[in-house]
């Protein structure tokens, strides 16, 4: 098993790639009908840099351009590529804060029987309207942890804008919530160890694939 980012791990990865029985485990890509080495190689290169043309990708991967085009179309059709978007330098756009808002929804809203009730429909409609009003919300989901059951990740020009955002949450959803707690990060800090990016995700997935092939 790979347990580190050592040179030994890289050697194992290359050895796994060269195995005649190399395969991509369905456990890693459960939503693809059929995964081949070429599919994930093209996908990973797109994650690293989606600006490159099919011709450039073909040169890097030593494949024909029609093959790359076919695979790109396949991974897009299968939903493996959700979107193509640049990740800007947020500070240069005047964004100083990224916030993680942890919401605690009242118990009566968590009961499954309410999923078809008017109150639950009202919550969904209000949420949709709130997200439309606040396009600076970049991620929102329910979950569990820290005695909270939802998280919203948002970007803000400054702390004043952030406090206005929290106040808006309380006004719009106060009757549904037990409380809201926030965690903020200053994008002007010199202590950010890794900026938001998916560039390193292929390395993680390749190592997971390697683990399976070396078992």
**pLDDT value at residue 8:** 45
Round to whole Å and give the CA distance between 205 and 207: 5
**pLDDT value at residue 4:** 38
Phi/psi of residue 84, each to 5°? -110, 115
**pLDDT value at residue 182:** 93
**pLDDT value at residue 46:** 94
Average pLDDT over residues 102-108: 87
**pLDDT value at residue 3:** 36
pLDDT tens-digit map of 162-210:
999 999 999 999 988 999 999 999 999 889 999 889 999 988 888 887 7
Round to whole Å and give the CA distance between 133 and 96: 20
Domain 90-186 has CATH 3.30.70.920: yes
Percent of the chain that is helix, strand, coil (3-state, to 5): 50, 15, 35
Beta bridge partners of 98: 155, 185
Q: How far is residue 90 from each of residues 93, 100, 134, 160, 162, measured CA to CA in Å?
A: 5, 16, 17, 17, 15
The reported pTM is 0.79
Domain chopping of the chain, boundaries: 7-84+197-213, 90-186
pLDDT tens-digit map of 109-167:
766 555 557 777 888 899 999 999 999 999 999 898 999 999 999 999 999 999 999 99
pLDDT tens-digit map of 2-33:
333 444 444 555 555 554 345 566 677 676 65
pLDDT tens-digit map of 43-87:
999 999 999 999 999 999 999 999 999 999 998 988 889 899 889
Round to whole Å and give the CA distance between 149 and 31: 26
């Amino acid at each position: 098993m790979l347990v580190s980012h050592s040179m030994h791990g890289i050697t194992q990865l290359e050895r796994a790639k060269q195995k005649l029985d190399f395969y991509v485990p369905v456990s890693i890509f459960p939503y693809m009908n059929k995964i081949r080495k070429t599919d994930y190689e093209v996908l990973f290169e797109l994650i690293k840099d989606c600006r490159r043309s099919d011709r450039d990708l073909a040169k890097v991967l030593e494949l024909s351009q029609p093959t790359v085009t076919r695979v790109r179309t396949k991974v897009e059709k299968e939903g493996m590529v959700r979107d193509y978007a640049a990740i800007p330098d947020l500070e240069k756009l005047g964004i100083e804060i990224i916030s993680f808002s942890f919401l605690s929804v009242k118990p009566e809203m968590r009961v499954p029987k309410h999923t078809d009730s008017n109150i639950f429909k009202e919550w969904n409609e209000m949420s949709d309207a709130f997200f439309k009003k606040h396009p600076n919300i970049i991620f929102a989901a329910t979950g569990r942890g820290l005695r909270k059951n939802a998280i919203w990740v948002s970007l803000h020009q400054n702390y004043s804008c952030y406090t206005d955002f929290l106040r808006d949450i309380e006004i719009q959803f106060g009757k549904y919530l037990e409380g809201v707690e926030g965690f903020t990060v200053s994008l002007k800090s010199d202590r950010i160890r890794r900026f938001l990016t998916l560039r390193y995700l292929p390395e993680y997935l390749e190592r997971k694939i390697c683990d399976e092939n070396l078992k």
